Structure 1
C-alpha cells in the first residue's frame, strides 16, 4: 500500500534526544571524554563568571561543545553553526540543548566565545583532556616531536600599508578598491596590515607571500597526540623559539627526545635543547654550500648512531597529520579571527578537537 504524502502535525512532542542518537555513534565516546574534561574546569569557569553578577550567560560547557562541533564538521561561520543547531537533533544532543530550547543568536555566541577563550580556557581544556587517567596512559612521557605551520590571517594583502601612511593609491569606489604594488618594496619593517596589525607578511616553500601567523604543535610520539600548541607571529626564527617555549611549559624535567625537521638544525637551538636535558633527534640539514661542501650539522654522531634516532625521524612526520586535519577538515587554513591571542586560542582548541576524534579508537584498542 502506498504511503500518504500528507503532512500532519501533532499538538505535543515526546521526542527523546538521547533515543534519537544511535548507541554506536562516534560522538558518544567523544562527548563522554569532553564532559569529563569540562567537569575538571568547573573552578576555572566559576572564576570567569562571578556569581550574582549580571544576567546568566550561555553555559560555558555548552559553548565549548558547540565550538568542538564547529571544528569536527568544518563549519565556516557562527551563523551557519547556529542555523545547524536550530534543526539538527544530533547537534542539540551533543551541546546539551533541549528540543524546545531556542538556538543562540550568532552575535551572542561570538561575544560569549571571545570572553571564554580570553581566559586561556582552550589550553586548560587541552590539558584536562590529556590529564584523564585512561588518556594519560596512552601518552609517551619521553619521546616528542615539534613542527610549525602557516595559518593565513583574516586580512587581505591590500590592507598591508606603509606605517608612515605614504601610500599614494586612492581608495576608489566600492569596498574592494584597486591597490597597486608594482615596483613597491614591502616588508614587515615598513608596512603593517590595517585589518590585523599583528599579522606578518611571510612566505614558505616557494609559495606566494601572505599575511599569516605561525602555529606550532608539540606531539608525543607513541600515538601522535598533540600535547601543546602555540601561535606566534610568522618569522624565520619563530619555530625554534616556540619549541623552546613549549618545552619550558612541560611539567617535569626528566630527559626526553625531540624530533624535528631540518629547519631546526641550528647550533644555537641544539645547544638550548641540551641545556634543557632534551636529546635533539633533529633531521640533518645536508644542503651543499657554494663550494660544494655539505653544511656542517649540529647533530653529532653520538645521537644519530642510536636506533631511537631513526624511530624519531619516522614518527616526527605524523605531526603533519595534525596540521592536515586542522587546516583541511576543521577549516583553519585561513583563520576567521583577528589578533594573535584569539588565533592562539582557536588553534589550541582545534588541537584538542583533533585528539578527541582519535581517542575513542585508541581507548578501544588499549590493553
Structure 2
C-alpha cells in the first residue's frame, strides 16, 4: 500500500540535541577527547585590544581549522559552508543550530595577524605532542627524519630568471605579502641562506618556493615539509618548512632536534634517515656534538662504477696512518721522517694517500686499480673517522630495524597527500607554508591518537 506523501511542516518548537545525532564512532568524537584548547585565550590575551567590538572566539576558529585539516577540506570558504551544514562539525566546534558561522575572511585576518604574531598554531601543535607523550605514545629512544616535496601555489609561466626577478622587485614597496615575507627571511637558512646556488627560475608570486626537478620528472616550484617523528608509534614530534634543497633540509633537521629537546626534554639515542642527511658535516654534528647514533647511509662519492677498485676496497690501518691496497702494498700521505714524531701525527684534515710508483708499475692488479695513472691515490675526508663510525652503525644488526622504522615517515607523507589532500599548497610565503604544515601535522597526530586510543564501551 502506497503511504502518504512526505511533506515538511514547520513546528513552533523542536526537541533536538546535537549530542544525540553524532555517532559514537565518528572520527571527530574520537579526536575531541584529545583537543585541549583551554590555554589559547590566555596565550592570545596580549594580542587583543581592551576596547572595541568583541572578536570571534579563537577556540572556535582553531576547532574549525582542525576540522578542515582532519577531513581534507582545504578551502576556508568551503569549510565555513561544511560547518554550517554538517551536524558533527557543529558539535565539534561547540556550535548550536542557531549559532552563526564566522565568515571565511575572518580566518585570513587572524592568520596573518594575531595567530602568526603569537605563534598560536605552533602552540596548538606542541600541546598535541605533549598529550601524545602523556598517553605513552612517545618513547624518545629512536627518531626518524625525512622531507617531502609539496607543490607551491604558483605557475612556471609566472616566473623569471633570478637576475630578472631582482630587477623586477627593486624599489617596489607594494609587493605581495609572500614576496615581502621572503625578503624578510633571506638570511634564514631555511629559505635564503642555506646555499649560494641560484635556482633556474624564481616565481613572481612566491619567490621563496624552490624550482626543483627532484622527482626525476618535469621541474616545478615546491616547498619541503620536514618531519621529525618518534618511531614507536609514528608521532610527529616536530615539523618545519624549508626550501627544497638538501642543505636547507639538513638545517631543518638540526633545528627540530634542538627544539624538541628544549620544549619536551626529548633527546633520541639514535636517528634514522636517508643518504641526503649523510654528509660529513651533518654526521659530525649528530655523532660528536649531539651524541646521537646515526643510522644513515654515508654520502660517498668514492665508489667507482667503471669496474676498478673503489675506496672501500682499500683497508685502513688507523694505528699506522695508512691504507693497504688489494695487492698488500701500503699507501701513505707522506714518507718523510721527522725528528719530532708529533709533526707527523694524524690531524683532522683531508689527506691524500699514495702508493709508490715502483709498487704500482709491477703490480698484477694495476689494470683493475689504476689503469690510466702511474700510481693509485686515495683521498681521505677530514672527518673520515666519523664516516667510518657511521658505516659501522649501518653495518650493525640493528640497522635493518632502524631502516624499517624510517619508512614510517614516508607513510605519513603518503597520508598527508592522499588522505588530507595536501598535495598542493594554498598559502604562499614562508609563514603561510609553515602554517599549513603545522596544522596538517597537528591533524595527523590527533588522528593517530584517535586510532591508538579508541573510546571504550562505557564511553559509547
TM-score by length of 1: 0.85
- Which one of 205, 209, 212 corresponds to residue 199 of structure 1? 209
Q: Summarize the Cα distance change of 1:357–1:100 in structure 2 as closer, same or farther, 3 Å threshold.
A: same
Q: Summarize the Cα distance change of 1:5–1:132 in structure 2 as closer, same or farther, 3 Å threshold.
A: same
Query: In the alignment, does 2:33 pair up with 1:28?
Result: no
In structure 2, the residue matched to 1:183 is: none
What SS does the aligned partner of 1:212 have? strand
- Measured in 1, the distance between the counterparts of 2:213 and 2:147 equals 13
What SS does the aligned partner of 1:84 have? helix
- Measured in 2, the distance between the counterparts of 1:295 and 1:333 equals 41
Query: In the alignment, does 2:338 pair up with 1:340?
Result: no
- Which one of 105, 109, 112 corresponds to residue 111 of structure 1? 109
Q: How does 1:146-225 map to 2 (within 5 A)?
A: 146-165=145-164, 188=198, 191-225=201-235
Q: Deviations over 1:111-150 (max 9, x none)?
A: 2233354132222211111213764521021110000011
What SS does the aligned partner of 1:33 have? coil
How many angstroms does 1:330 deviate by?
1.4
Query: In the alignment, does 2:279 pair up with 1:282?
Result: no
In structure 2, the residue matched to 1:97 is: 95
How many angstroms does 1:354 deviate by?
0.4
Contact 1:256 1:279 (8 Å CA) reproduced: yes
Q: Which has the larger radius of gyration?
A: 2
How many angstroms does 1:191 deviate by?
4.2
Query: In the alignment, does 2:61 pair up with 1:63?
Result: yes
After superposing the two structures, state which structure 1 stretch, 97-106 or 297-306, moved more.
297-306
How many angstroms does 1:91 deviate by?
1.0
- Measured in 2, the distance between the counterparts of 1:234 and 1:100 equals 46
Contact 2:152 2:428 (8 Å CA) reproduced: yes
In structure 2, the residue matched to 1:73 is: 71
How many angstroms does 1:164 deviate by?
4.9
After superposing the two structures, state which structure 1 stretch, 235-244 or 310-319, moved more.
235-244
Contact 1:40 1:128 (8 Å CA) reproduced: no
Q: Deviations over 1:257-285 (max 9, x none)?
A: 11001222211111111111111011355
What SS does the aligned partner of 2:88 have? helix
After superposing the two structures, state which structure 1 stretch, 103-112 or 257-266, moved more.
103-112
Q: Summarize the Cα distance change of 1:351–1:128 in structure 2 as closer, same or farther, 3 Å threshold.
A: same
Contact 2:143 2:230 (8 Å CA) reproduced: yes
- Measured in 2, the distance between the counterparts of 1:355 and 1:62 equals 20
Q: Which runs of 5 or more residues in structure 2 are unaligned?
A: 166-196, 313-383
Contact 1:286 1:294 (8 Å CA) reproduced: no
Tell me how large the CA RMSD over aligned residues is.
2.6
Query: In the alignment, does 2:273 pair up with 1:243?
Result: no
Q: Summarize the Cα distance change of 1:345–1:117 in structure 2 as closer, same or farther, 3 Å threshold.
A: farther
Q: Summarize the Cα distance change of 1:189–1:263 in structure 2 as closer, same or farther, 3 Å threshold.
A: closer
- Measured in 2, the distance between the counterparts of 1:335 and 1:141 equals 31
What SS does the aligned partner of 1:155 have? coil
Contact 2:209 2:221 (8 Å CA) reproduced: yes
How many angstroms does 1:163 deviate by?
4.6
How many angstroms does 1:316 deviate by?
0.5
What SS does the aligned partner of 2:128 have? helix
What SS does the aligned partner of 1:250 have? helix
In structure 1, the residue matched to 2:8 is: 7
In structure 1, the residue matched to 2:44 is: 45
TM-score by length of 2: 0.69
What SS does the aligned partner of 1:237 have? helix
